[in-house]
Structure 1
Amino acid sequence: MIPTLDMHSTLILSLSVIAVVIVDRLARKKRASGGLPLPPGPTGLPLVGSLFSLDKRDVFYTYRDWTATYGDMVYARFLNEEMIIINSEKIAVDLLDKRSNNYSDRPFLAALKPYGWGFSFADVNYGDYWRIRRKLFHHTFRADAVAKFQPMQISKVHQLLANILECPEDYAAHLETYNSCITMSIVYGYDAKPRDDPLVDITSKAMHGPLKVFTPEGCPLVNAFPFLLRLPTWFPGATLARHARASHDNIQSMGVAAIPYMEKKMINGTAVPSLVTDMLERLEEVEADKKAAFEAAVKDVMTTTVAGASETTTATLLVFILAMVLHPEIQQRAQVHLDAVVGRDRLPEFSDRELLPYVEAILIECMRWEPVSPIGRPHTATESDVYEGYYIPKGVTIVANAWAMSRNESAFPNASEFKPERWLDAEGRLTVDGPPGFVFGFGRRVCPGRWAADAGIWIALCSLLANFEFHKAKDAKGREIDFVPTFTTGFVRMPDPFPSRVVARPGFDSERLAQWVRAST
């Protein structure tokens, strides 16, 4: 969604001389192309380019629609921001994976620091600063290290089941609490309250809102007119500046909220394994003159981890519930499968995962069917390049449209349909070892927390399926309410509230849950 401006801001923009910069930049790019054409794309209007051609809610629809006219690699300009949109997984792999040395950088984001997001190593330029933080993150979240979080994830999913049993109508809020509790525990070793935890509330407040201005369609406006972020908050038209100041303050509050808890746990020796404890162990090995830089990197990694996990797990689980409500036959088949493997006298465990291919196929299909990060974080070209005869300018923003890739009919026949069986062979065995590559991004900037996220989503999805039924809500006359799903906008996309009922499966109640939890500990 493109950030909106009031009348005063529009006046400021109209008086700007940015048009000169735009024309000069475009002229330089074309002169540097050596005669090769840019990828085809919409002509656009003077000054604004194709900004007004975008779907105001979901720009990835527009990007995908352009494929029919211009192909799978499209060039477009939005104000002074040049962009190449990739709607094909093959092209994304060819460029972002196979030529990752040239496509691992990030475009400039004028809003990053004013909004308080200067900590995010996911958005910084490719170089030593990023490598240090990525290495620290990888130490805790690599594939062979995340198993240490499984007991905590099991504990939090039991808490989730209890919350939904007590207040099933608030399942969306319970999913958000589940996600936040896991993140707080992994990062800080913080044991959050089942509900209304103050630190979870602070984190949630900090994460909601600012991401829209970081989307590729939102960035050109702020990048072209960064002074809008520095206006006094009392100044007429300072809407973006006020939003930035509020976001910055919320992020600062989030960054210090857990410090007293962490200090107390470390002093009395009760700290549990977490990213913080991992980093403190490593700090002892760091040379004295490098400790300050190391501590700054650790702080960035901690905050980036909290921010990166803030909504994606919740969004994926809401997509799962939506799919089950719309497809009761799939839900029933999955529950028969679960009952045969897990039974009805215990809760699912991670050791069950390899024995539940149909449940795994549901998870993979959720990620494919409605990707929660439909356009991901943008890349940029470090140097000019050529791909299949088209010129790719240095510094151009590269957007990989995961949503368009998820709708590729050649790869996924009847792509708009939810069909878990597309991931299984005739004997019911999985034909893949994970979700499609576009789900977690590409190249050296692929999501580094994907293994921990995947585990947290799987155990929740499996536990919910085993113990609850998901149905359409009914009206006053007892008739099911039909609906067409709608989705939120922004960097993370999730279903809007939809009419649904969550009902405990026969034999599952709070007493049985408590019994099973005691038996599993």
Structure 2
Amino acid sequence: MAVTVCILHPLCRLLLRINTSAGGCKPRIDQQVPLPVLGNVLGFNSKEPWITYMEWAKVIIYPFTQPIIVVNSEKVANDLLERRASNYSDRPQFNTTHLCVALLFGWGFTSIFFNYGNRWRLHRRLFQQAFRADAALTYRPVQLRKVHQLLANLLETPGESFDCLQMLSAAIIMEVTYRYDPAPRHDPLVMAVERTADILIKALRPEGAVVFSVFPFHVVRHIPPWFPGADFKRKANECQKLTVDVVETPFQYTKQSISSPTLKVFILAMLLYPDVQRKAQLEIDSVVGRDRLPDFNDRPPLPYIEAILRETLRWHAVGPLGVPHAITNVDHFEGYFTPKGAIVMANIWAMSHNEDKYSESAEFKPERFFTPDGKLNNDNVGFIFGFGRRICVGRHIADATVWAAIVSILAALNIEKAKDEQGIDVEVNTQWSTGVGT
């Protein structure tokens, strides 16, 4: 009987959805016809969902019996998420699933999952006081100190460079927020946070939360971990246990999840584009010299380093889908009807690979950020940090951390491919894995 009810529940919801228009507008943006219960999940690329969402752009679909609006255009994202922020700043419900997932996985306490309302506004205001642009300036001594520690770690253990990069942003954030100084590598608290965030972010994507959009939460939470197909429940239990280790730390992982993966992208770019690395080092030598490390006062006269930072953020966006928004009330956009409660996905990956704006977008070309007269243009790739009232609150700290790390690494080190026993370069594996970022 319980199974019958579970199956009939989404079927009834599906049958009750009548795709009618409002106010004489077009019925909806073009939409695909979903399968019962499964929606359009069978046509989904779970490893690279931003590719599927790019194909589904400007199409309202029911991939998991939940309407989704995928936005590939930076202009449209600004029109909806910035200019109409009061109506596009909620979080998806998935049959109240967005909050339910957070609760089931032990993360219902963090404001990133709050619905748009007074509680969220209070939390946001507190975060803004600590992390707004002028407040972020006070953290620069900590950032430089940790970046210099990173250089020492890279010299001591070059084979563990990615672990060192991962610890940099964690060390900065934890000292700023909690005066906690993590171990240079393999700190247990940082490892617990990363594993927790990795599990949670995958569960919160629409493709990961399909079970919550199909079955009621009161049924899902009672499914035993050993039940076939209940891998999500096993991950939820693991996430809850890990959260116990980190919940006392006032630590918002979004800021770290931008900094450390971006630095890994930078390292890859320098390996694949050595001419860019040499040009950047020449600029640093001409402005800073070789008798000291760069500091933040050197940022304005180092435009090529600034262009490398922008191109690193653009080339492989570490948050290719951002965090989903939701529509609070029925709306109309360019003659189309957008339903209340629909999920709005800003496809950052598609925006950063818009060939009309970034020609040869697959190539790493810092020169694209210069005007014909050799000055930096106005494109600071701000869309990487999100849109509207849900924009990353720690973006100023993340931006400064990544810049300091990039310029310091280029000033002190040469980034080269490893060599095998015969002294031949080991080719770089450019296959991307999915996780907290990309």
TM-score, structure 2 length as denominator? 0.92
Q: Paired residue for 2:17?
A: 26
Q: Aligned in 2, Cα 1:239/1:202: closer, same or farther, shift over 3 Å?
A: closer
Higher mean displacement: 405-414 or 351-360: 405-414
Q: Aligned in 2, Cα 1:25/1:312: closer, same or farther, shift over 3 Å?
A: farther
Over 4 Å off, 4+ runs: 11-15, 31-35, 234-237
Of the candidates 272, 284, 298, which is equivalent to residue 326 of structure 1? 272
SS in structure 2 opposite 1:84? strand
Q: Paired residue for 1:265?
A: none
Q: Paired residue for 2:285?
A: 339
Q: Paired residue for 1:36?
A: 26
Q: Aligned partners of 1:111 and 1:128: how far apart in 2? A: 21
Conserved in 2, the CA contact under 8 Å of 1:22 and 1:47? no
Of the candidates 232, 252, 265, which is equivalent to residue 240 of structure 1? 232
Q: Aligned in 2, Cα 1:407/1:394: closer, same or farther, shift over 3 Å?
A: same
Measured against aligned partners, the alpha-carbon deviations of 1:131-170 in whole angstroms (never above 9, x if no partner) come to 0000000001010111110111111111111110001010
Aligned residues: 430
Conserved in 1, the CA contact under 8 Å of 2:192 and 2:246? yes
SS in structure 1 opposite 2:17? helix
Q: Aligned partners of 1:13 and 1:399: how far apart in 2? A: 32
Which amino acid in the other structure matches residue 382 of structure 2? G
Q: Paired residue for 1:489?
A: 434
Which consecutive unaligned segments of at least 5 residues does structure 2 have? none
Measured against aligned partners, the alpha-carbon deviations of 1:309-359 in whole angstroms (never above 9, x if no partner) come to 342211100010111111000011001111111111111111111111000
Q: Aligned partners of 2:117 and 2:188: how far apart in 1? A: 36
Of the candidates 104, 109, 114, which is equivalent to residue 89 of structure 2? 104
Q: Aligned partners of 1:25 and 1:407: how far apart in 2? A: 39
Q: Aligned partners of 1:25 and 1:188: how far apart in 2? A: 50
Measured against aligned partners, the alpha-carbon deviations of 1:371-391 in whole angstroms (never above 9, x if no partner) come to 110110111111111111211
1:181 aligns with 2:171: yes
Alignment of 1:131-146 (within 5 A): 131-146=121-136
Higher mean displacement: 218-227 or 47-56: 218-227
Measured against aligned partners, the alpha-carbon deviations of 1:392-436 in whole angstroms (never above 9, x if no partner) come to 00110010101111111111111111110111124432112x632
Measured against aligned partners, the alpha-carbon deviations of 1:203-225 in whole angstroms (never above 9, x if no partner) come to 34433422211113222332322
Of the candidates 245, 248, 259, which is equivalent to residue 253 of structure 1? 245
Rg comparison, structure with higher value: 1
Conserved in 1, the CA contact under 8 Å of 2:319 and 2:384? yes
Identity over the aligned pairs, expressed in percent? 40
Conserved in 2, the CA contact under 8 Å of 1:116 and 1:248? yes
Conserved in 1, the CA contact under 8 Å of 2:332 and 2:338? yes
TM-score, structure 1 length as denominator? 0.78
Q: Paired residue for 1:423?
A: 369
Q: Paired residue for 1:384?
A: 330
Q: Aligned in 2, Cα 1:180/1:419: closer, same or farther, shift over 3 Å?
A: same
Q: Aligned partners of 1:33 and 1:233: how far apart in 2? A: 47
SS in structure 1 opposite 2:26? coil
Q: Aligned partners of 2:206 and 2:266: how far apart in 1? A: 27
Q: Aligned partners of 1:105 and 1:316: how far apart in 2? A: 27
1:152 aligns with 2:142: yes
SS in structure 1 opposite 2:414? strand
Measured against aligned partners, the alpha-carbon deviations of 1:428-475 in whole angstroms (never above 9, x if no partner) come to 32112x632320111111111100111111101111111112223334
Q: Aligned partners of 1:146 and 1:15: how far apart in 2? A: 49
Alignment of 1:452-467 (within 5 A): 452-467=397-412
Return the offset for 1:33. 7.4
Measured against aligned partners, the alpha-carbon deviations of 1:222-276 in whole angstroms (never above 9, x if no partner) come to 23223333323455554322211221121122123x5xxxxxxxxxxxxxxxxxx
SS in structure 2 opposite 1:30? coil
Higher mean displacement: 140-149 or 241-250: 241-250
Q: Aligned partners of 1:221 and 1:237: how far apart in 2? A: 10
Q: Paired residue for 1:130?
A: 120
Alignment of 1:441-460 (within 5 A): 441-460=386-405
Conserved in 1, the CA contact under 8 Å of 2:315 and 2:363? yes
SS in structure 1 opposite 2:337? strand
Q: Paired residue for 1:16?
A: 7
Alignment of 1:354-369 (within 5 A): 354-369=300-315
Q: Aligned partners of 1:417 and 1:119: how far apart in 2? A: 41
Q: Aligned partners of 1:237 and 1:87: how far apart in 2? A: 33
